[in-house]
Amino acid sequence: MQGQIYLTGFMGSGKSTVARCLQNEYGLTQLEMDARIVEEEGMAISRIFAEKGEAYFRQLETELLRRLSGEQGLVVSCGGGTVMRPENVALMKRNGVIVLLTATPETIYERVKENHDRPLLEGNMNVDYIRGLMEQRRPKYEAAADFAVQTDGKTAAEICAEIVKKMDLNDGK
């Protein structure tokens, strides 16, 4: 595979699960941006936000994307906010295909409600807040994406298969 596959979408849209599935089922190498940042900074996402601030975290995302653009053939599971910066989208577009995973606010809520390492949702863990933030971000998610896959009610294997099929079509064969 030339270039990268960048998986984007709202928190809880399934990016990490689908990236792992693409690795296990299709032999691609996955890299989760949040996990790499946690490893490199030696602290959890919530602690980075609390102690260093969101702007610092966003800069780490951009720097990581820059470094990754020198590599080939990775499935990169992005953070939910990565495509909010035009600079990040430009880097991603230059280096691969951007796949948007979508889900309803209700589905997202069910997937993320027990997790406490998402600073943007702490104290806001409800469907209405998720819907509002999703609507606010939707134009940027949609503008960045080469194509979207809806994930509600689907298994990771089904979502992976859809992505692989669409990538083949996108090869123009």
Q: Which is nearer to ligand S3P, 39 or 168 (CB)?
A: 39
- 102-141: contacts with ligand S3P (CB under 6 A): 118-120
Q: Which is nearer to ligand S3P, 81 or 96 (CB)?
A: 81
Phi, psi of 70 (to 5 degrees): -85, -5
- Cα of first residue to Cα of last residue in the chain, in angstroms, is 14
Q: Which is nearer to ligand S3P, 140 or 166 (CB)?
A: 140
- 4-63: contacts with ligand S3P (CB under 6 A): 11, 15, 34, 45
Select from 65, 68, 81, 145 the one that contacts ligand S3P (CB under 6 A): 81
Dihedral, CA atoms, 120, 94, 76, 155, nearest 10 degrees?
90
Select from 18, 21, 80, 89 the one that contacts ligand S3P (CB under 6 A): 80
Q: Which is nearer to ligand S3P, 2 or 87 (CB)?
A: 87
| Alpha carbon distance 35, 91 (integer Å) | 20
137-to-8, 12, 41, 70, 160 alpha-carbon distances in Å:
12, 14, 27, 28, 24
Conformation bin of residue 48: beta by default, left when phi > 0, alpha when psi is -120 to 50: alpha
Non-local (6+) Cβ contacts of 41 within 8 A are 48, 60
Question: How many residues in the shown chain lie near ligand S3P by CB under 6 A?
Answer: 10
Q: Which is nearer to ligand S3P, 45 or 99 (CB)?
A: 45
Select from 14, 79, 96, 105 the one that contacts ligand S3P (CB under 6 A): 79
Q: Which residue has the tokens 């994406």?
A: 145
Give the shortest CB-117-to-ligand S3P separation in angstroms. 7
**Contact call for residue 96 and ligand S3P (CB under 6 A):** no
Query: Could you list the residues that contact ligand S3P (CB under 6 A)?
Result: 11, 15, 34, 45, 79-81, 118-120
